[in-house]
Amino acid sequence: MGAGRAHGTPPNRRHPTPVCATLIRSPSGDAQPVPYTLPLLSAHPVTHIANPRAADPARPIGPRERAVLTVEGMTTARDAIRAWEGYAPTPLRRLDGLAAAAGLAALYLKDESTRLGLGSFKALGGAYAVERLVGRRGAEGLTVCCATDGNHGRSVAWGAHRQNCGCVIYVHGTVSPGRCEAIARWGADVRRVLGTYDDSVRAAAEDAVAHGWVVVSDTSYPGYMNIPRDVMQGYTVMADEIVTQIDRPPTHIFVQGGVGGLAAAVTAQTWEAWGTDRPRIVVVEPDRAACLLASARTGRPVMALGALDTVMSGLACGAPSLLAWEVLDEGAHNFLAVPDAPAVEVMRLLASGRYDAPVVAGDSATAGLAGCLLALANPTLRGALGLDRDSRVLALSTEGATDPDVYAELVGRPAASVVAAS
């Protein structure tokens, strides 16, 4: 995940709720209209790429994917992370009310809003990579650095604080003050860079060379692979939690994109755990920062064009991680790009308690679920993704209110009130 605009203009809350009839097959095979009444989601365009290189369902995970992430690596990460003070598996919630409204057999939501007090799955990655680095070379004289939109830098800063080493974090021009303050709270030196997330990545890399620091990045590039692999291996611990929490494999997983590290970790670990029963992997990105979809279209890692100006700040990434792409190139089945508005609507939907107990989901947390609900509202896309009334969908709510001010602006109420109502 990368960075982008800290917040955007919410869609009009007075917009009428559209109602459309979706056609879903009954167990007998007859087509039955099922009312679909979720607010606003049917009104937005979605870009879809079906991955022509997706592995045959009968193929087990192979050496290409295992060269990036392994069960042994997950086990090592899990053993280390379980020993951290405050560690506990985050909840896997059943959204039975929303599933019924959307015409699904089941809908599960992995809720990362309470992860290790940092409020994001990123807590598992950067901090684990710092711990591994200190284990190899010691903390004396060590300074780590990275670029961030907020959550990864917060994890690296927390990890550096735990390991008693120096830390410098680079943020780009539109990272919110609240996210910068959350990073600085752990003793990091926070430096702002003009431009996009990719500009802050370059600044961190250049200064690391000049000062002898070590970059702890969640994205990989030529000549820089080992530390991002540790970051991704930390993320597999979350996927392993899901495997143990869920009663049976879902049919679909809708997962956020960004640079691809999370999507690759979820893909690899569920492929290892469930083999040929693994779910269809659908990667969802902002339509203004869809580098993975662009890469799927061309068949190789490519840059996303444009300013990466999206409300989904943690997903505003211009280039895929090369390691992540090694897993996703054949491991992901479909790629979607969605506008900002439905992601904000899903934030509000989860907070409202309209169908299920309220959930606090941040601006980068809802792309996957938004992609699923948009697909269900589009008969062509629903068919292309194999979604029907027998589908069991898993989505990942990857962060809570990591910037409380931004959350309150987008949702229209503070996160504390949502928590109190849950």
Q: pLDDT tens across 86-99, in order?
A: 999 999 999 999 99
Could you give the CA distance from residue 193 to residue 204 in angstroms, rounded to a whole number? 10
Mean pLDDT on 265-292:
97
Could you give the CA distance from residue 31 to residue 176 in angstroms, rounded to a whole number? 48
Q: Which of 111, 149, 230, 329 is catalytic?
A: 149
Q: Compute φ and ψ for 179, nearest 5 degrees.
A: -70, -35
Q: Are strands 280-286 and 334-338 parallel, antiparallel or unpaired?
A: parallel
pLDDT band at 305 (very low <50, low <70, confident <90, very high): confident
Q: Are 402 and 179 spatial neighbours (Cβ–Cβ below 8 Å)? A: yes
Give residue 42's pLDDT: 56
Does 20-120+232-421 match 126-217 in CATH topology?
Answer: yes
Q: What is the pLDDT of residues 48-100, one digit of tens each?
A: 999 999 999 999 999 999 999 999 999 999 999 999 999 999 999 999 999 99
Query: 33-47, 272-286, 308-322: which has the minimum mean pLDDT?
Result: 33-47
Query: 186-200, 204-218, 288-302, 381-395: which has the minimum mean pLDDT?
Result: 186-200
Share of the chain above pLDDT 70, in %: 90
Q: Are 267 and 327 spatial neighbours (Cβ–Cβ below 8 Å)? A: yes
Give residue 306's pLDDT: 82
Pick the CATH number of 20-120+232-421 from 3.90.550.10, 3.40.50.2300, 3.40.50.1100, 1.10.760.10: 3.40.50.1100
Q: Where are the domains of the chain?
A: 20-120+232-421, 126-217
Q: Is 218 one of the annotated active-site residues of the chain?
A: no
Is 60 exceeded by the pLDDT of residue 284? Answer: yes
Query: 162-166, 235-239, 290-294, 317-321: which has the minimum mean pLDDT?
Result: 317-321
DSSP 195-208: S-HHHHHHHHHHHH
**Closest Cα to residue 344, out of 409, 289, 395, 404?**
409
Q: Which of 110, 111, 122, 356 is catalytic?
A: 122
Share of the chain above pLDDT 90, in %: 84
Mean pLDDT on 178-206:
93
Q: Is 122 one of the annotated active-site residues of the chain?
A: yes
CA 24 to chain centre: 29
DSSP state, residue 314: G
Is 60 exceeded by the pLDDT of residue 10? Answer: no
Could you give the CA distance from residue 13 to residue 7 in angstroms, rounded to a whole number? 16
Mean pLDDT on 15-34:
33
Q: Quote the strand ranges of 194-233, DSSP E.
A: 214-215
Tokens 């143990």 found at: 244
Give residue 32's pLDDT: 41
CA dist list (Å): 12 to 17, 37, 41, 51, 342: 11, 17, 13, 34, 11
Pick the CATH number of 126-217 from 3.30.70.20, 3.40.50.1100, 2.30.30.100, 3.90.1150.10: 3.40.50.1100
Q: What is the pLDDT of residues 235-260, one digit of tens each?
A: 999 999 999 999 999 999 999 999 99
Give residue 36's pLDDT: 45
Helix, strand, coil shares of the chain, percent, nearest 5, are: 45, 15, 40
Q: What is the pTM of this model?
A: 0.90
CA dist list (Å): 1 to 75, 135, 142, 167, 304: 24, 26, 25, 20, 13
